Amino acid sequence: MTKDFKPYYAVIFTSTQNKNIKGYDEMASKMEDLAKTQKGYLGMDSARNDVGITVSYWESLEAIKNWKQHTDHMLAQQKGRENWYSWYNVRICKVEREYEFNR
Amino acid sequence: MTKDFKPYYAVIFTSTQNKNIKGYDEMASKMEDLAKTQKGYLGMDSARNDVGITVSYWESLEAIKNWKQHTDHMLAQQKGRENWYSWYNVRICKVEREYEFNR
């Protein structure tokens, strides 16, 4: 943690999936590649067991809004609701502090 | 998303583990049970593949600080650094907006 820490934003996406998720992996990979090319994108962490958690990091709320409204991403979101997700939750968060441990 | 949404806080804990994590599962379960009894605790999501992501939700920064400094939790953190984690990152976030999809 440094004194000149500059706040940024995190989108916490938690979800549960249906049993049949045909086409999901391909789309998820495509969307991750596309997200990386967006203005203000900072990074992403993802893991799934019973619940899936994807956290993406962004420079600003505007960058998050632009990504949410990206045409290809909107189609992916629609497919997600129709085919893959039984439930999801999206939290828009301001990262206020951060610290790290390295062995 | 409702007009009377009340901001709360999320702690995003991302980590990578060592190969030998003897004792970890027991401690993680113990800490989850203990967290649930803390004042201001709202919930938790957790998943692990290559990277582990645990997000815990809290009513206030004070609740997060109290939990960080809880004696049993401090011992667990120390054990984590000594034995289980090769790296971790902690982000303290303010949840500003939230929306949900239910099939």
Q: Which of A8, A11, A98, A101 to mutate to test the interface with B (most CBs of B within 10 A)?
A: A101
The answer to whether the CB of B12 falls within 8 A of the CB of A98 is no
The answer to whether residue B1 is domain-embedded is no
pLDDT at A2: 55
3-state secondary structure chain A: CCCCCCCEEEEEEEEEECCCCCCHHHHHHHHHHHHHCCCCEEEEEEEECCCEEEEEEECCHHHHHHHHCCHHHHHHHHHHHHHHEEEEEEEEEEEEEEEEEEC
The answer to whether residue B89 is domain-embedded is yes
Distance between CA atoms of residues A99 and A5, nearest Å = 10
CB contact under 8 A, A86 and B100: no
**Selection from A48, A44, A45, A43 nearest residue A15 by Cα:** A48
The answer to whether residue B102 is domain-embedded is no
Question: Is the pLDDT confidence value at A30 over 90?
Answer: yes
The answer to whether residue B47 is domain-embedded is yes
Cβ neighbours, 10 Å, residue B36: 11
CB contact under 8 A, A92 and B97: yes
- What is the per-residue pLDDT across B5-54, written as a single tens digit (0 to 9) for each? 999 999 999 999 999 999 999 999 999 999 999 999 999 999 999 999 99
The answer to whether residue B3 is domain-embedded is no
The answer to whether residue B100 is domain-embedded is no
Q: Which of A6, A53, A77, A86 to mutate to test the interface with B (most CBs of B within 10 A)?
A: A53
Number of domains forming the structure of chain A: 1
Question: Is the pLDDT confidence value at A1 over 60?
Answer: no
ipTM higher than the 0.90 cut? yes
The mean pLDDT of chain B is 96
Q: Which two tokens stand for residue B71?
A: 């004696």
- What is the per-residue pLDDT across B37-46, written as a single tens digit (0 to 9) for each? 999 999 999 9
The answer to whether residue A101 is domain-embedded is no
Whether B52 contacts chain A with CB within 8 A: yes
- Tell me phi and psi for residue A77, to 5 degrees: -60, -40
**CATH number of the domain that residue A39 is part of:** 3.30.70.100
Domain with A45, as residue range(s), is 8-95
- What is the per-residue pLDDT across B51-86, written as a single tens digit (0 to 9) for each? 999 999 999 999 999 999 999 999 999 999 999 999
CB contact under 8 A, A92 and B101: no
The answer to whether residue A103 is domain-embedded is no
Q: Which two tokens stand for residue A35?
A: 């997200």
